[in-house]
Structure 1
Amino acid sequence: MKRVFGAKKDKEPPPSVQDASDRITKRGDNVEEKIKKLDAELARYKEQIKKTRPGPAQEAVKARAMRVLKQKRMYEGQRDMLYNQTFNLDQVSFAAEGIKDAQQTMSALKSANKDLKGMMKTVKIDDIDSLQDEMMDLMDVSSEIQESLGRSYNLPDDIDEDELLGELDALEADMGFESEGGMPSYLQPDKESDLDGELSFPSAPTGHAPMPAGRANMQAEDELGLPAVPGPSLRN
């Protein structure tokens, strides 16, 4: 059957925007090379026109230069047209890439939205409020436990404030805080005791022992060379 009717040929996929852009850019580069060759030829004709005297020879060179110049203008028009097509294809490619990016963004957002909905099902506001209330109750119970463990033993619970103030006044009186001149009583001297008599010392002697003639103007010294302290005089 294939020999009679022939096999169906598979259609080639259409070229992509990038393939078309590359092909047109390559054509534009070829045209650009032709324009450069024509520029070099025009420069050579220009030098010949300068060196040739006016006459039939110069006119022939000018005619060839005009023909080359027309070809150059034609190629320049083709080049500009190809570059405009390349620019349009680049704009289409940019728009297509933008749409692809938008599709990927939408797919990512849909996936994230689905995940968030699944997580929201496991987290409820009522459960959070209930958990917060339970935590507050536990903190209150913990505070009560700490207070119970830190209480003191063998202390009366009902203490009269007036009675406590009276005991403090009595303690202040016993320690002698009420005194004359702002000094406690236990630091004041006893008026009835004769401390001067108990703390009296013998009076210092008024006489001096005889000194040698050579040392009449010098103070007496002890065996260490220090000034000697006069001793107390004995009185009967």
Structure 2
Amino acid sequence: MKRVFGIKKDKEPPPSIQDASDRINKRGETVDEKIKRLDVELARYKEQIKKTRPGPAQEAVKARAMRVLKQKKMYEGQRDMLYNQTYNLDQVSFAAEGIKDAQQTMSALKSANKELKGMMKTVKIQDIDNLQDEMMDLMDVSSEIQESLGRSYNVPDDIDEDDLMGELDALEADMGLETEEDGMPSYLQPDKEHDLDGELNLPSAPSGHNAMPAGRVNTQAVDEMGLPAVPRASLRG
């Protein structure tokens, strides 16, 4: 059967846009090279026309130049046509790439949407509100615990703040009276009723002939208070 009908050949895949664009670009480069060669030939004929005198020789050179110029115009038309085809293929290629990008974007969005839906199932607004309420309750309990731990012990509950303020005012008044006399607090002022000399039983200062003459230095011993030392006999009597 294969010998009679033959084997069905697989069709070649159609050329891609990039393949077609590359092929046309190569053709365009070939046409550009031909146009450049014709330009060189035309330039040579132009110089020959300038150098030859009018007559049959000059007309022959002009005829050859005209033929080359026609070929150049033909190749330029082909080149313009190839450029237009390349432009159209580029437009189609850009459109195809844009569609591919859109497809990838849609695929990524669908995947992200599916993932977000799965995540939203585990997170509910009601659960968040309940959690916030619980946190507020815990903060209130924590504040109550701190206040309870900061309470003072053995403080009567029936203390009147007005009485406390009155006592505080009286204390400030007493402190003011103590500092009015000689500008010195009472605990630093000497006690008039307390006789330091009587307690120490010190002798009276010498007078008359026993007084120390002027100009002499007192060499009498003094005690730790800076006073004349008391004889031991006086203390014993």
Q: TM-score, normalised by structure 2?
A: 0.75
The one-character-per-residue Cα deviations of 1:85-142 (angstroms, maximum 9, x if unpaired) are 0010000000000001001101100110111111000000000000000000001111
Q: Verify: 1:32 aligned to 2:36, yes or no.
A: no
* Cα shift at 1:143: 0.9
2:105 aligned residue: 105
CA distance in 1, matches of 2:84, 2:112: 42
* Cα shift at 1:232: 4.2
Change (3 A) 1:182 1:129: farther
| Secondary structure, aligned partner of 2:151 | coil
1:144 aligned residue: 144
State how 1:40-119 maps to structure 2 within 5 Å: 40-119=40-119
Q: Verify: 1:9 aligned to 2:5, yes or no.
A: no
* Cα shift at 1:51: 1.1
Q: From the two aligned structures, give the one with the greater helix fraction.
A: 2
CA distance in 2, matches of 1:41, 1:131: 90
User: Which amino acid in structure 1 is aligned with residue 106 of structure 2?
Assistant: M
Change (3 A) 1:66 1:167: same
CA distance in 2, matches of 1:156, 1:5: 120
Determine if contact 2:25/2:86 at 8 Å carries over to the other structure: yes
CA distance in 1, matches of 2:85, 2:6: 39
The one-character-per-residue Cα deviations of 1:146-182 (angstroms, maximum 9, x if unpaired) are 1111211112222123322342344345435377699
Name segments (4+ residues, structure 1) moved above 2 Å: 165-190, 231-234
Q: Verify: 1:23 aligned to 2:23, yes or no.
A: yes
The one-character-per-residue Cα deviations of 1:66-95 (angstroms, maximum 9, x if unpaired) are 000001001100010011100100000000
* Cα shift at 1:187: 8.8
Determine if contact 1:172/1:178 at 8 Å carries over to the other structure: no
User: Which amino acid in structure 2 is aligned with residue 115 of structure 1?
Assistant: E
CA distance in 1, matches of 2:29, 2:162: 112
User: Which amino acid in structure 1 is aligned with residue 56 of structure 2?
Assistant: P
Alignment coverage as a number of residue pairs: 196
| Secondary structure, aligned partner of 1:177 | helix
* Cα shift at 1:56: 0.7
Determine if contact 1:177/1:184 at 8 Å carries over to the other structure: no
Determine if contact 2:178/2:186 at 8 Å carries over to the other structure: no
* Cα shift at 1:18: 0.8
User: Which amino acid in structure 2 is aligned with residue 74 of structure 1?
Assistant: M
| Secondary structure, aligned partner of 2:177 | coil
Change (3 A) 1:146 1:179: closer
Q: Is there any run of 5+ residues in structure 2 with no aligned partner, and where?
A: 194-212, 217-237
Q: TM-score, normalised by structure 1?
A: 0.75
CA distance in 2, matches of 1:25, 1:109: 38
CA distance in 2, matches of 1:96, 1:120: 36
1:153 aligned residue: 153
1:216 aligned residue: none
Determine if contact 1:28/1:79 at 8 Å carries over to the other structure: yes
Change (3 A) 1:162 1:61: closer
